Structure 1
Amino acid sequence: MSDEQLASLSSAAGLSVDWLDANGRPQRVSVESQRALVESLGYAAQSPQQIAASLAHLEHEHHSRELPPLLTHELHRPLSLASEFASDTHYQLELEDGRRIDGRLDGNACLHAIEHCGYHRLHIADRELTVAVAPPACLSVEELTDGQRRHIWGLTAQLYSLRRPGDGGLGDMQALADLARSAAQHGADALAISPVHAMFSAWPGQYSPYSPSSRLLFNSLHAAPDVLLGEAAVNDALQICGLQGSLKQLESLDLVDWPGVTDSRQRLLRQLYRSFRDQHNALTPDFDKFLLKGGDALLLHCRFEALQGFMVRHGMPGDWRTWPEHYRDPNHANVDLFASDHALEVGYHAFCQWLIARGLDRAQAAALGSGMKIGLIADLAVGADGAGSQAWARQDELLQSLTVGAPPDILNRQGQSWGISAFSPDGLRRHGYRAFIEMLQANLAHVGGVRIDHVMGLKRLWVIPQGAPAQAGAYLNYPLQDLLRLVALESWRNRALVIGEDLGTVPEGLREELAQRRLLGMRVLLFEQRDGGFIPAPFWPDDALATTTTHDLPTLHGWMQGRDIEWREQAGHSTREHSVDDHNHRQWEKHCLQKALQDCALLPIRDNSITEQLDASVSFLGSTPAPLVLLPLEDAMGEFEQPNLPGPGDTHPNWRRRWPINAKDMLERPEPSQRLQRLDQARRARDHLAPLVRTHHE
């Protein structure tokens, strides 16, 4: 078998056979991995004859490919249609606002420049296409603050960790609203939260917010039904269900008991739905409006939830890929029949989605009403579980036989396999980017911004055959320009800030591309080192947000104490010998950070306490040119432990830690209050100095 022939097929299928690792060293995907990957993408490659036939098929598809149902384009630029239509061909453009423009293609068969952003319908010859016309870039911090601020700050919070009286053991929308009001009173303009994606109501043991069932809907366990339905309705439901004792027990725990919370919350929500359905309710018209607006995506998710619950209750697998064939197809008549026979169950899941969506609306209203300029920033996971609702509903648009992860790098020498499914580049094009657009719109519908996890996925993703180790993967390329235009368009339509998490192995030139489109990158204090020291605050970039740490990294307090090194050894991710080396290196890093803080006169030149160093680090971030500083709640509070420890095993209580203090009171304590005051002062000082200071980007 010709290795060159297989490499040609791999490249034609969208894979990068050659790539650079995190150290800049050239790497090549093995022949065995190439074969497994192209076959997972649907192209036979077991023999030279099969490879030749697959190549011929791809080449034929490329040359005979018609225009896709959706074209992305730039504002104020002509659009060439020469591949399909002759010059002077008549067209009618129906703008998103209903206006119609008649015209003819120019001498180069170009559509005249469109002066309005939006999704417009193009009728030309016998074809009908959508033209998504995007602004040059996403909205900036300055635009979103109406020119009042160029340098703002906010907090990041793990939603599940928040606490309030009567929350039943899990952070909810009311606790989020309480925290938003408190943060706004301290001067915050944003509150970024962990993903609120829909999980598996039938699988309470699967609770990582980055492995959701669907990124189109939300996790109804975080709903605060008393806010919408009233305390009396909730108290009546609790009385009927006899849940008061179990909820108080769950609420008293230091860690989230996900199975216990799931069981109790669902019992409560089911009783609330029965009462809502059986009694006249002034909110019924709003619920009906929500159902109508939710459309196909909401309907399919609720049907999936009902189907999966039915399967699990009857001792069958919950993974839809093992269901009877007629239930694997969401458009099959048997699925319609099941939904009709189980209409109350489907309606229950819609009711839950209504509660959480309205809760998000109210939390965002609380944030903006308290003075925030941005408000909530949602977190968009890089993929969804292949056994979940989104993969079932959008099978042609997601990769079914590949999982997503990361190649071996400095932090993880074995690479990572995240066990999630991502979009198919070819499937996206063929379906007019439907799944990508609806995902953006769903996640921006209730917030003021979005953080795109692993934003490198807009350009390429490390894909791995099911069951194979991470090292057996390769990069699959995506239509970056199309996706960036759609992101910019949705930023404009929703007046939303967009952040791209660009940590890890970043392709050359991608950060510059993101900056041009005004997607804010991310710079983490612990990583911002160069030439044996920490980069001085004035030389941080002005096209990325600044933060102390992330949910996958140690808190500053924990970092200074080497807590993450201890956890890695305890979890079996590192050996005792490696830990000794890591502790020695950490001592050097701590010395370098202390020197950086002293050099900018934020820390006295002497031995400093951890609290002093933490305070100085917060002021340091505030003085950077970053348009946005996001301070994790863990560092605002001086917390020792981190939320998540990436890697195999379950030794660390990932996604379970809860705050012992009520959300509305957390920031009122002296230490966090003073810390936030320092950050607010540094940000306002930076705003004042902005016209006078030139960064290395200018």
Structure 2
Amino acid sequence: MKPNNHLERAELIAPDYIDAHGRPQRISMQTRERLLGLMSPWTDSASPLPPVAIFRQGEPQILSPVLLTAADWRLTSEAGERWSGRCAAGETLILPELPDGYHQLTLEYEAQGYSCCIIVAPPRCYEPAALLAGESLWGSCIQLYTLRSATNWGIGDFGDLRRMIVETAQRGGAFVGLNPLHALFPAEPESASPYSPSSRRWLNILYIDVSAVPDFQQSEAAQTWWRLEATQQALQAARGAEWVDYRAVTSLKLAGLRLAWRQFQQRDAETPEVAAFEAFIDAGGDSLLSQGLFDALHAEQRAQNAACHGWQSWPEALQHPDSAAVLAFRIERSDEVRFYLWLQWLAAQQFAACWRLCQQQDMAIGLYRDLAVGVARDGAETWRERELYCLEASVGAPPDILGPLGQDWGLPPVDPQAMEARAFEPWIALLRASMHDCGALRIDHVMALLRLWWIPQGESAAGGAYVHYPVDALLAILALESQRHRCMVIGEDLGTVPEAIVDKLRDAGVYSYKVLYFEQTSKRAFCQPTQWPRQAMAVATTHDMPTLRGWWRSDDLRLGSKLGLYPDKAILTGLYRDRLMAKKALSQTLLRSGALPPRQRYQRGGARMTRALSMAIMRYLAGTQSALLGLQPEEWLDMATPVNVPGTIDAWPNWRRKLSATLDEMFSDPKVEALLAEVNRSRKAVK
């Protein structure tokens, strides 16, 4: 018997798909067979039960074990309640009505024991009381590393986040949205993409506010190092740089944190801080230990060979986390491993303090985290969970209008069959880590719950196919964990969205993600404010798109052409033409909605992006019916340079561009004050 929501192997890989132009595209049998061969085979064995069965609350909880003879069954609820009985061959097993949660069914059959995880989930994800009451909320959406301040060490940190929380809340904001805070590669600081992390379970230690660490403050050695002229010069250079200098920042922070670590090691084992650290290690289990081991090993391997980029380039004996060589390293370098575990503890402590600050500020949502679609091929997560990933494939996107070559994100896909065989435990653990200390979770590329574009190793992005995932099971678990953590869910549903998932997401209480640029309804108009969906978050742009000023000036098209992203000049010409029409349509929509005064009429050839026009767009977005509105500081500051150019790796300094003003300068700017005050008034007026 296959588990509920299970996809047959033949159904896993779609034979065709509809492209961005609405045309059907056929996938070759060779590609389908090659991708199927990369997955783990379905190991049904002789079990009469599936590894997991998922039910929505209110549905009949019925199983049909594959039994040739009678069997005894026992059911234990998550709360410890027990039931038992006997099931005859061919008989349907009707379970007692179970509450939401994770329960365990065991079957004694032919002298062997078999088990099945029974998951009962609520119908919808959690929604904050303010949204259920009809309020329309807004907040700031930041790339944390871009923040400038007089106190950080060249990269935005959790100290800056505290300031951002207070300033946003004081102006009526209900949340601060964040880029993925996932663990990256301390030993390889230039691998800076938050969407290509080492692990999604743990945090990026570069966000630690080192100056706020008690053991840094109390360490005489650390304070002596801090006062050195060379230290201050390096700090000022990193802080004043236009782009984040990850190498310099990492060098500074690890130097200061190592001195603080020595101070921490002098604490008595009975102190609350040491006890809290040990409890953190125990709670983190194998996942945390593997993260510390990986970071320590990676640092050692990089010190020996600068060309070593991840575990796949390590000596064979170290490529397996359970090997004798790794165990020996763990014992011999235990202090180094514990140092990296301590850094994770510091990061978790400081982030939790930011969450508590949101609650103290009475923010209706508070922090909003971002979950990347995958992990790097050679990071800590694939090192520990190799059987969960198909390392000989990568995920991306097929060719479309804005990306005629397609996209290869370089991230190995999760094997859907391996996920099911483990009763979705990796998905559950990931959600629990991601929903900790926050009020909302944005799921990047939420269509991954239904399908992902897999690209076989060695093929171009166009040579892939869509692989399906058990969407109903994933959504049910998402709703269960969302309710338990009181964490709402926002799904980034941009691009080609299959009809099969639109209704499922809406019915499951997942909020849509509406970007201004994609809300053009005709050649002459954008969606009117009253027509924007309620169950959605409205934004002007995203980290993968140009800023408003950049979009208006077509900077993204010029830059993309320069970087070779648009090899077809006819397509590029068409994109310029479409952009010109879109600007005219947006201007006319702004006029009709009253967001733009009549005197600001659109001029042939394109009006300049002025402060008044930018304000009008913010005013228009603030008046939409969408429950949430996210505003980026880049728009407050009228910036043009993008933070990321999709499709590039070394051709553009992605994930490095800082804001053009410090937090002090930004929040003392009368224009920013006026904008946020007007947005706050407009959101309160939306009914």
Same fold (TM over 0.5): yes
1:600 to 576, 579, 593: 593
Paired residues of 1:88 and 1:109 also in contact (CA < 8 A): no
Paired residues of 2:217 and 2:223 also in contact (CA < 8 A): no
Match for residue 655 of structure 1? 655
3-state SS in 1 of match to 2:598: coil
Match for residue 545 of structure 2? 553
3-state SS in 2 of match to 1:606: helix
User: Which digits, 9 at most, give the CA deviation of each residue in 1:105-153, with x for residues without a partner?
Assistant: 7996234353422222334433333222211010124x3x385453211
Deviation at 1:383, TM superposition (A): 0.6
User: Which digits, 9 at most, give the CA deviation of each residue in 1:455-501, with x for residues without a partner?
Assistant: 11111100111232101111111111111111111101100011111
User: Which digits, 9 at most, give the CA deviation of each residue in 1:139-179, with x for residues without a partner?
Assistant: 124x3x38545321112100101122231101100101110
Given the alignment of the two structures, is residue 564 of structure 1 paired with residue 556 of structure 2, yes or no?
A: yes
Paired residues of 1:10 and 1:17 also in contact (CA < 8 A): no
Distance 1:468 1:574 in 2: 19
3-state SS in 2 of match to 1:509: helix
Paired residues of 1:199 and 1:219 also in contact (CA < 8 A): yes
Match for residue 255 of structure 1? 243
Distance 1:34 1:88 in 2: 41
Given the alignment of the two structures, is residue 95 of structure 1 paired with residue 85 of structure 2, yes or no?
A: no
Distance 1:624 1:146 in 2: 14
Paired residues of 1:511 and 1:521 also in contact (CA < 8 A): no
3-state SS in 1 of match to 2:105: strand
Distance 1:133 1:87 in 2: 28
Match for residue 157 of structure 1? 142
Match for residue 24 of structure 2? 26
Paired residues of 2:216 and 2:263 also in contact (CA < 8 A): no
Matched AA of 1:25: R
Distance 2:438 2:9 in 1: 39
Match for residue 308 of structure 1? 298
Match for residue 613 of structure 2? 613
Paired residues of 2:368 and 2:439 also in contact (CA < 8 A): yes
Bigger shift: residues 25-34 or 404-413: 25-34
Q: Structure 1 residues 121 and 238 mapped into 2: Cα distance closer, same or farther (>3 Å)? A: farther
Q: Structure 1 residues 312 and 679 mapped into 2: Cα distance closer, same or farther (>3 Å)? A: same
Q: Structure 1 residues 66 and 251 mapped into 2: Cα distance closer, same or farther (>3 Å)? A: farther
Matched AA of 1:117: D
3-state SS in 1 of match to 2:138: strand
3-state SS in 2 of match to 1:283: helix
Given the alignment of the two structures, is residue 669 of structure 1 paired with residue 685 of structure 2, yes or no?
A: no
1:131 to 118, 123, 128: 118
Matched AA of 1:331: D
User: Which digits, 9 at most, give the CA deviation of each residue in 1:603-624, with x for residues without a partner?
Assistant: 1222366222222222222222
Match for residue 114 of structure 1? 97
Paired residues for 1:448-459 under 5 Å: 448-459=439-450
Paired residues for 1:58-73 under 5 Å: 66-73=48-55
Match for residue 267 of structure 2? 279
Aligned length: 661
User: Which digits, 9 at most, give the CA deviation of each residue in 1:419-456, with x for residues without a partner?
Assistant: 01221101101112122111111111121111111111
User: Which digits, 9 at most, give the CA deviation of each residue in 1:212-253, with x for residues without a partner?
Assistant: 111111110111133342662377415237533212221111
Distance 1:78 1:337 in 2: 52
Distance 1:547 1:88 in 2: 58
Distance 1:122 1:651 in 2: 54
Q: Structure 1 residues 499 and 66 mapped into 2: Cα distance closer, same or farther (>3 Å)? A: farther
Deviation at 1:353, TM superposition (A): 0.3
Matched AA of 2:425: R
Distance 1:178 1:359 in 2: 13
Given the alignment of the two structures, is residue 367 of structure 1 paired with residue 358 of structure 2, yes or no?
A: yes
Distance 1:621 1:121 in 2: 48
Paired residues of 2:135 and 2:684 also in contact (CA < 8 A): no
3-state SS in 1 of match to 2:483: helix
Bigger shift: residues 307-316 or 427-436: 307-316
User: Which digits, 9 at most, give the CA deviation of each residue in 1:514-545, with x for residues without a partner?
Assistant: 00001111111111012222111111122221
Deviation at 1:354, TM superposition (A): 0.5
Matched AA of 1:30: S
Paired residues for 1:504-543 under 5 Å: 504-532=495-523, 533-543=525-535
3-state SS in 2 of match to 1:498: strand
Distance 2:361 2:35 in 1: 51
Bigger shift: residues 29-38 or 394-403: 29-38
Distance 1:220 1:33 in 2: 40
Deviation at 1:63, TM superposition (A): 8.9
Matched AA of 1:681: R
Bigger shift: residues 467-476 or 10-19: 10-19
Distance 1:238 1:511 in 2: 55
Paired residues for 1:673-684 under 5 Å: 673-684=673-684
Distance 1:132 1:240 in 2: 54
Deviation at 1:211, TM superposition (A): 0.6
User: Which digits, 9 at most, give the CA deviation of each residue in 1:659-678, with x for residues without a partner?
Assistant: 24333552342222222222
3-state SS in 2 of match to 1:451: strand
3-state SS in 2 of match to 1:130: strand
Q: Structure 1 residues 171 and 92 mapped into 2: Cα distance closer, same or farther (>3 Å)? A: same
Match for residue 629 of structure 1? 629
Paired residues for 1:161-176 under 5 Å: 161-176=146-161
Distance 2:32 2:8 in 1: 6
2:173 to 167, 172, 188: 188
Deviation at 1:97, TM superposition (A): 3.4
Paired residues for 1:163-562 under 5 Å: 163-229=148-214, 232-233=217-218, 236-240=221-225, 242=228, 243-280=231-268, 282-315=272-305, 317-532=308-523, 533-562=525-554
Distance 2:658 2:313 in 1: 36
Distance 1:568 1:612 in 2: 28
Distance 2:503 2:327 in 1: 48
Deviation at 1:582, TM superposition (A): 3.9
Bigger shift: residues 72-81 or 453-462: 72-81
TM-score w.r.t. the length of structure 2 is 0.90
Deviation at 1:336, TM superposition (A): 1.9
Structure 1: 5+ residue runs without aligned partners?
Answer: 1-8, 43-56, 690-698
Distance 2:196 2:366 in 1: 25
3-state SS in 2 of match to 1:19: strand
User: Which digits, 9 at most, give the CA deviation of each residue in 1:22-58, with x for residues without a partner?
Assistant: 222111112443343234336xxxxxxxxxxxxxx86
Deviation at 1:418, TM superposition (A): 0.4
Matched AA of 2:588: K
Distance 1:361 1:374 in 2: 15
User: Which digits, 9 at most, give the CA deviation of each residue in 1:637-687, with x for residues without a partner?
Assistant: 32222211112353433111112433355234222222222222222111x
User: Which digits, 9 at most, give the CA deviation of each residue in 1:156-211, with x for residues without a partner?
Assistant: 10010112223110110010111011101111111111111111112112111111
Paired residues of 1:357 and 1:446 also in contact (CA < 8 A): no
3-state SS in 1 of match to 2:117: strand
Distance 1:238 1:655 in 2: 31
Deviation at 1:73, TM superposition (A): 2.1
Paired residues of 1:221 and 1:265 also in contact (CA < 8 A): yes
Match for residue 645 of structure 1? 645
Distance 2:615 2:240 in 1: 31
Q: In percent, how many aligned pairs have the same letter?
A: 32
Paired residues of 1:154 and 1:192 also in contact (CA < 8 A): yes
Q: Structure 1 residues 215 and 568 mapped into 2: Cα distance closer, same or farther (>3 Å)? A: same
Distance 1:211 1:423 in 2: 14
Distance 1:561 1:146 in 2: 36
